[in-house]
Amino acid sequence: MMSNETYMNAASIIAETFSKDPNTKTGCIIVNPEGEIVGAGYNQLPSEELSWDDKGWAARHAEVDAIADAFKNRSVDIENIDKYIMYVTLFPCHPCAHLVIASGFKKLYTNCDKYKESGKYLNSETKQLLKKSRVSVNFDLCDIQADLKDQDAYNMLKEYAEKYNPYMLEYFEGGVEL
């Protein structure tokens, strides 16, 4: 198993490499109990006919994308999903929190709570929802700057791409290039 910082770096690399969102690039990875990345996602538009001007109603969030990816890959042991960990570069919105809970995840790391200072109501509701649903949310990585050149994170993402997501493989074959 790698460090939590390395896994979060991998989620950050996913966000920076793939998200085209001009305002809020978000990445998410799912890690199995053995420490292997089994799902990855980023915020994106589901159709080229949409634009980021439609983001409010059209964007697919990183958590949704990562969960769909992991289940599509059949890389998740449903009986033990509570032992998997999600790493997401932005604290989940309320609907994504519901999906995390409904999917059975019990542990989530985030390195950004963009509403922390503002005390936005929805964010505090989302935190309560996760807490009362017994999802452990860890904010220990919030003060750590992402290392987008972390070779261990790249190697993990390359292994993931080789096994589950050939579309992403071309981005990770050459090592660190951001």
Helix (H, G, I), strand (E, B) or coil at 40: strand
Q: What is the SS3 assignment for 133?
A: coil
R_g (Cα) of the chain, nearest Å: 15
- Site of tokens 């019990």: 106
Is 63 an active-site residue? yes
Contact assessment for residue 62 and residue 42, using Cβ atoms and an 8 Å cutoff: yes
- Strand 37-42 and strand 27-31: the pairing is antiparallel
Q: Which among 16, 63, 79, 170 is annotated as catalytic?
A: 63
**149: number of Cβ within 10 Å:** 13
Decide if 37 contacts 10 (C-beta within 8 A).
yes
The residue type of 108 is L
Nearest to 141 by CA among 86, 76, 80, 82: 86
Write out the catalytic residue numbers.
Answer: 63
